[in-house]
Structures are given as structure tokens and as C-alpha cells.
Amino acid sequence: MRDVAVIGIGIQKWGELWERSLRDLWVEAALNAINDAGVDHIDSMYVGCMSGGLFVGQEHLSSLLADYLGVCPVPATRVESACASGGMALRSGFIEVASGLSDIVLVSGVEKMTDVDGGGATYALATAADAEYEVYQGATFPGLYAMVARDYMHRYGLTREQLAQVAVKNHDNGVLNPHAQFPMKMSLETVMNSTMIADPLRLMDCSPITDGAAAAILCPLEMARDLSKNPPIKVSGMGAATDRIALHDRPDFCEFRATVKAAEAAYKMAGVGPDEIDFAEVHDCFTIAELCVIEALGFFARGTAGQATAAGETARDGKKPINTSGGLKSKGHPVGATGIGQIHELVTQLRGTAGERQVAGVKRGLAQNMGGSGGSTVCHILEVV
Amino acid sequence: MRDVAVIGIGIQKWGELWERSLRDLWVEAALNAINDAGVDHIDSMYVGCMSGGLFVGQEHLSSLLADYLGVCPVPATRVESACASGGMALRSGFIEVASGLSDIVLVSGVEKMTDVDGGGATYALATAADAEYEVYQGATFPGLYAMVARDYMHRYGLTREQLAQVAVKNHDNGVLNPHAQFPMKMSLETVMNSTMIADPLRLMDCSPITDGAAAAILCPLEMARDLSKNPPIKVSGMGAATDRIALHDRPDFCEFRATVKAAEAAYKMAGVGPDEIDFAEVHDCFTIAELCVIEALGFFARGTAGQATAAGETARDGKKPINTSGGLKSKGHPVGATGIGQIHELVTQLRGTAGERQVAGVKRGLAQNMGGSGGSTVCHILEVV
């Protein structure tokens, strides 16, 4: 397999964008990535999208988006793994470049979520759970993650304040991200007093519904310096894994086993361990998810992530900065785009171009992108070469 | 890139299967493929599905189906390209094996289409067209393909009888296929007198709505004889391409450019031309589609496929047998599964195990799987080694 590098990244300002369609958002992000890389063509493209069908009545994004980008007849593939669709699109593009089949591959994600019919977004998102055994019985994602949070609190003594600190920290980062949907500071009191959604999760524990897109350009590492003026960022590790889709089928609600397995594979490929990761973007769809994930990644021991967060260890100036972009919580969560949005942040930090939110001296970052309540996960490790 | 072989295939009886769910159909096909190959594990899996969201309210098929097959934490990816989803799942699995990342990969497709709410199947299928510029204006797929048929008739003098011969021929084949949804003979008169759907296309020019699944097992060619008792069938050519999604944006309604480009790439990889293909499974979603496709593949000159079909050249005993399985028309068209169903037929014929519908002496076959009105296409060439 050939080594693979990221040589271009593109994104647009995420938010509630009623005046723009899915194709508009995606083309902006894709062109930004192509322009950033400085390439004059692509050989193949991948689009991560969770549900074009349910959100905007549009499937067949391969043809639609190749068409609107003006790159037909380039092969195009849409990849879906619920909220991990973007990360899985990167995985597919990585494999295509590594295989030798294609040299310059666009990987991307998009979701247009805010102007579906009433109640439609919650219904569409719920299709990431087990429709027959969870959704039809009334489960929603806030409810499923609330069960995880209750279990975690009971077993490890996590406090409501510690949980809220995840949101406070991520908004502290997002306020410095020009592409974030909600770039505002959020006090502990605001999080603690926000509307109850599914006890113990309140509104400010939940990531928002977002319209957005992100893209990146991959090529063989050996061609990177010839193709682009940008410093090549190597995709040194990749791993993907699945778990039982329904929360009730797992022996331990708080152990995200797909994340454990995906991370193991990524660490093995990169030849590093969790201690050698300088910073990470992780899937904080709910505050409790960030805590479980950073434990599954091996950054913190089981049951200690809440205390570590409250102590500032995951802040930008902490020992393991997490979600310097603002995370799903503040940057927004256009589900199919999130995994590539994470890559945008890793590359921006690794290039040293993250401005006020730059973490000094970072050389290696990890992105963890998760579907549903943890039924699928993909991890990538990116590093300066 | 490593050479790739198909060592196992699985399918179930396609039809209107109200008593069975998407996961049931898929697991049956996947287990049949695993059992046929005789492997004891898989390293990765791909699922082609057009719209689990719109048809059955279930996305995140990666996690769901890995779970129900009992193979977690194996990586799983759902791929979508409308009615070409199955073929694109094979493409992705092919690349993963060729890259060296994985050795034994399950590729599959599934669609559960028959028990959606009233009108839902037509709406779901229409999302393969351009939602904003075709569907919202009232276009449906029978209407789009009817425009292709009218244009073809006008330009090339195709007769209504020649068009009907496509359906007659495919039902002549399907009657011999134990997995076909409609395994009955269809007389020319029956096709000609069937209900008008979109002039000139009648009911018997249209493929049906189907529940079904199909699967195949890939591995490196060099491992095939060690892993399975089945004769390895090499995937010698692969190509995928896109075209403008909306019919009105194409300069020539009757030229399926994505098929032309995908076939060119597949022929190049395999080192052969159309004359060296012994038989083919092609995407006859409507009778007119088969005619345009077999011209785009280079089997017949532009404007001559109707005469050739009426003359029996595409029959099982003709010079270029097309859709020996019965095609989408008689075998059924569970959209995400169709591309893998085609592979099932190619492998069955190449193994010489197609029973009464066996074509004597075939060594090399082509599968052409198409999305929408031709906005995406993927071709594979399989051959005996």
C-alpha cells in the first residue's frame, strides 16, 4: 500500500443556512479544498452523507455532486455510516489512493438538515439506531445517550458539573473558529440551567442540527510535494470497526467498543500509542460521548475523563487538547460532514495555521468519528512529515 | 494492485416479501455467500443500498448488518449510487482487496421496497433523479426513460415490437432462474397490450419493485485456491463513471456516456474489447435502457440494438447473450441489490452451474450496473482463470 497524504482542505461556515441547498454547500467546500491543494483535476471522489433521502429528498449524490462540481465522468461514490459517514468517506478515499488505482482523490462530507418538514430531522437521525428494536419503541438519540450518562454517573460518580465542563470547554474553543455554527462562550451556569432534554442531558449537552460541508484532497505521499505547495500531512493510521447497533445489546453502555477497536487498528498502522497523540478531534454529539470516547481512545483511564475535563486537561493548554475546533457541540454537527470537518481541524493545526486556537508544537493528531450510539467508528491519525 | 477473485456467491428468492425484513433478506444472502466460499471469517464488508432511509426508515446499515451477521467488530461500509449501489459496493470491495488492506471481503446489496407507505416507493426511487430540477417538476423514471425511448424511435426507427422483444427475451431467460421474482414467459402480445405507463413505455417495459439481497466473497486471486474449493473467477476489469444527473442536461438522450466511460476503463484494465465478452448482465430497468446500454458497451452499433434483439442476437443462443438471469425485468430489481445480483449470474454462468439457462462455453462476462437515468455507471468484467 502506498502512503497517503492530505494536501488540501476546504470548508464553509456551518449553520442554519436556509438560503443554500445541499449542492451549493458541498460545491463550496469541494472547490475550497481543490483550490487549497492547487490541483487541476481529481481522479475520483467520495461523499459522506447520512441521509440525503430523508433530509432533502435527494439520493444519488455521486452523480449529482460530480455534475455540479463539473468533473463528470470522474467516478464518484457516496458512503454512509450514519454520523461516521464523513470519516468512512476518508477511509474509502485513503484505500483508493493507497491501492494505486487513483492518485488525486477528493473526500468529502455534507448534510443539509435544517429545512426538513416538522419533526423530520429527529426522525431522520433516529434511523441511525435500530429502527425496529429501538426507534419503534420510542428511543431517540438524546434518550439513548442519557442512559449512557446515567450509567456513567452511577458507576463512576461523574457529577453534572463535570459533564457540563465538556460543553464549556468546547465552546471556549469554538468561539475562535470562524466556521463554527455557535461561536459563543457558554458559562457553566448556562449549561447547567439549560432546558432538560433527556435527564440528565440538557440542551447545552447536545450538539446542534446543522447545514454544512467539508472536503479534503488526498494523494500519494510521494507525489505530495510535486502536486501542492502545502506541507503534506500524512495519514499515518486508519482503523474502522462496528459494534452491536442497539445500546441494549451491549454488555457495557459506557465502553464504546467500536472506538476501542478502530483506535487499536489506527495506532497499530501508525506505530504509535495514545500517549504519542498530541491532540484529537472526537465525536462529542453529546457531552457524555466525549468522556466515553477519550477513555476508549486510551487517553484517560475508565471513569476519570470527567475529572480530567474539569481539571482542564482537555483544554487547548491542557496535556491532551480535545476538540480544538469547538467540536460537534460548538462547531456544529452536519452529520455526514462531521468526519471531514474533523480532518479540516487536524490539518489546520498540523500546518500551524489555526490562528488564536493554535496549539503550539503539535505534530500528530487523531480524529474519531462515530455513528449512532457507537455502532460504527472510524479513526484516523494524521501527522507532519 | 493485487488481482482479485470472486470465490463465493449468495442470493435468495427475490419478490414481494412482506413477511421478511431488510436484515433477514440480507443475512440470508450473506450467509449463502460465506457458505458457498467456505470461508470461516471476513475482514471487511460493503453493503450497497439505495435508500434504507426512505424505504424502511433504517440507515446505518454498516452497523446493523455487521451486527445481525454476527461479525462485529469487522469494518462495514454502506455505499450508495442509486440503482448502481450494488456494483459500487463491489468496486469498493475490489479496491480494498487489491490494496492489500484486507484479504476476505464480503460485498453485497439489499433493498426492501414493497411495504413502504402509499406512493412511497415511487417517491423514494425518484430521489435518484435531480430532486430540484427534475422531480419537483413532475418527472418520474418511467417518464424520463419514455423520453429516451421516444427520441430513440424518432432517430433510429425503432419499432414498438422491437422494444417489446427485450421484455420477451428477458422473461424467456427468467423463467429458468429459481431466484427470479417473475419467472413466467411473456408473449409479445402481452407486452404490447399491457397498461400504458409513460408513452411509449407500457407496464411490461418496466422492471418491478422488489425485495431482495445478494452477496459475494472476494479475496486475492493468489489465495483463492487455498481459501475455497470453488473455481476462482477473476475480476479482470473494473470501471466507474458519472454523467450529468438530469436528462435535460445531456446533449444526446440515447447515449449513456457514463456507461461508455465505465466500459472503456473496464476493457482497458482487462485488456480486452467488447468482441471478447461472451455474455453480459446489463441494467434493463426499462426495455429501452437495455438497447441503449448494449450500444454504449460497444456490442452493437448505435441505432441497431432493437433490430439485433428482434433477430435473436441477444438471446441465450445468440451471438451476444444479454441478461441470461432474466435481467431486472424478470429477475426483479431490488435496487441496491441488483449490481450484486448481476455478479451472481456471471459467476454462476462462468462456473457452468446455470442449469437450463447455461450458455455453453462462456469464459468472460461483463456486468453493467447503472444509477438513475444513467448519471452513474459501474462495469465489471469477470473471467475464468
Same domain, A350 and A250: yes
Q: How far apart are CA B284 and CA B207, in angstroms?
A: 7
Same domain, B294 and B229: no
Mutate to test the interface with A, among B20, B43, B64 (most CBs of A within 10 A): B64
Residue B128 lies in a domain: no
Catalytic residue (choose from A171, A179, A333, A380): A333
* Predicted pLDDT at B120: 85
Give just the sign of the alpha carbon dihedral A168, A170, A176, A177: negative
Q: How many CA atoms lie within 13 A of A89 on its CB side?
A: 41
- Domain range for A80 is 4-118+209-233
Q: Does residue A72 carry a catalytic annotation?
A: no
Residue B129 lies in a domain: no
Mean pLDDT score of chain A, rounded to an integer?
A: 97
Number of domains in chain B: 2
Mutate to test the interface with B, among A21, A23, A62, A256 (most CBs of B within 10 A): A62
Q: Does residue A333 carry a catalytic annotation?
A: yes
Same domain, B77 and B190: no
Same domain, A169 and A66: no
Q: How far apart are CA B170 and CA B181, in angstroms?
A: 12
Residue A180 lies in a domain: yes
Cβ-Cβ contacts under 8 Å, B133 against chain A: none
The chain B residue lying nearest A43, using CA atoms, is B241
Residue A124 lies in a domain: no
pLDDT reading at A120 higher than 90: no
The chain B residue lying nearest A257, using CA atoms, is B73
**Long-range contacts, B188-192 (Cβ 8 Å, 24+):** B188/B161, B188/B164, B191/B164, B191/B167, B192/B160, B192/B161, B192/B164
Same domain, B66 and B39: yes
CA distance B355 to chain A (A): 36
* Predicted pLDDT at A238: 98
Residue B127 lies in a domain: no
What tens digit of pLDDT does each residue of A32-61 get? 999 999 999 999 999 999 999 999 999 999
Same domain, A268 and A343: yes
Residue B160 lies in a domain: yes
Q: Which member of A51, A76, A129 has the closest CB to residue B376?
A: A76
What tens digit of pLDDT does each residue of A290-339 get? 999 999 999 999 999 999 999 999 999 999 999 999 999 999 999 999 99
The grid cell for A53 is: 433521502
Whole-angstrom CA distances from A218 to A158, A341, B91, B375 are: 41, 15, 19, 24
Same domain, B171 and B104: no
Share of chain A above pLDDT 90, in %: 98
Same domain, B155 and B171: yes
The ipTM value here is 0.97
The chain A residue lying nearest B3, using CA atoms, is A99
pLDDT reading at A119 higher than 80: no
Displacement of CA B57 from its chain's centroid (Å): 24
CA distance B60 to chain A (A): 5
Cβ-Cβ contacts under 8 Å, B57 against chain A: 123, 127, 131, 135
Same domain, B306 and B374: yes
pLDDT reading at A243 higher than 60: yes
Q: Do A75 and B240 touch (CB under 8 A)?
A: yes
- Band (pLDDT 50/70/90 cuts) for residue A9 is very high
Q: Do B1 and A261 touch (CB under 8 A)?
A: no
Q: Which member of B75, B79, B375 has the closest CB to residue A241?
A: B75
Instruction: Identify the bridge partners of residue A235 per DSSP, sorted by sequence position.
Output: A382
Per-residue pLDDT of chain B (385 residues; tens, 9 = 90+): 999 999 999 999 999 999 999 999 999 999 999 999 999 999 999 999 999 999 999 999 999 999 999 999 999 999 999 999 999 999 999 999 999 999 999 999 999 999 887 568 988 999 999 999 999 999 999 999 999 999 999 999 999 999 999 999 999 999 999 999 999 999 999 999 999 999 999 999 999 999 999 999 999 999 999 999 999 999 999 999 999 999 999 999 999 999 999 999 999 999 999 999 999 999 999 999 999 999 999 999 999 999 999 999 999 999 999 999 999 999 999 999 999 999 999 999 999 999 999 999 999 999 999 999 999 999 999 999 9
Residue A247 lies in a domain: yes
What tens digit of pLDDT does each residue of A175-225 get? 999 999 999 999 999 999 999 999 999 999 999 999 999 999 999 999 999
Q: Which member of B58, B79, B131 has the closest CB to residue A58?
A: B131
The grid cell for B172 is: 424467456
Decide which of A198, A233, A268 is a domain's last residue: A233
Catalytic residue (choose from B171, B179, B283, B333): B333
What tens digit of pLDDT does each residue of A132-166 get? 999 999 999 999 999 999 999 999 999 999 999 99
What tens digit of pLDDT does each residue of B299-321 get? 999 999 999 999 999 999 999 99
The dihedral region occupied by B167, where left means phi > 0, alpha psi between -120 and 50, and beta the remainder, is alpha
The grid cell for A54 is: 430523508
Question: DSSP for A246-310?
Answer: SGGG-S-TT--HHHHHHHHHHHHHHT--GGG--EEE---SBHHHHHHHHHHTTSS-TT-HHHHHH
Residues sharing a CB contact under 8 Å with residue A168, sequence separation 6 or more, in sequence order: A186, A187, A188, A191
Q: What is the CATH number of the domain that holds B114?
A: 3.40.47.10
- Cell 439457462 identifies what position? B357
Same domain, A103 and A13: yes
The grid cell for B370 is: 447503472
Mutate to test the interface with B, among A1, A23, A77 (most CBs of B within 10 A): A77
Cβ-Cβ contacts under 8 Å, A249 against chain B: 67
Q: What are phi and psi of B340, to 5 degrees?
A: -80, -30
- Band (pLDDT 50/70/90 cuts) for residue A116 is confident
Q: Do B63 and A372 touch (CB under 8 A)?
A: yes
Same domain, A147 and A110: no
* Predicted pLDDT at A118: 55
Q: Do B100 and A72 touch (CB under 8 A)?
A: no
Q: Which member of A62, A72, A79 has the closest CB to residue B244?
A: A72
Query: Span A8-16, mean pLDDT?
Result: 98
Q: Which member of A1, A66, A81 has the closest CB to residue B101?
A: A1
Whole-angstrom CA distances from A18 to A23, A181, A205, B11, B50 are: 13, 14, 25, 44, 26
Same domain, B80 and B157: no
Residue B125 lies in a domain: no
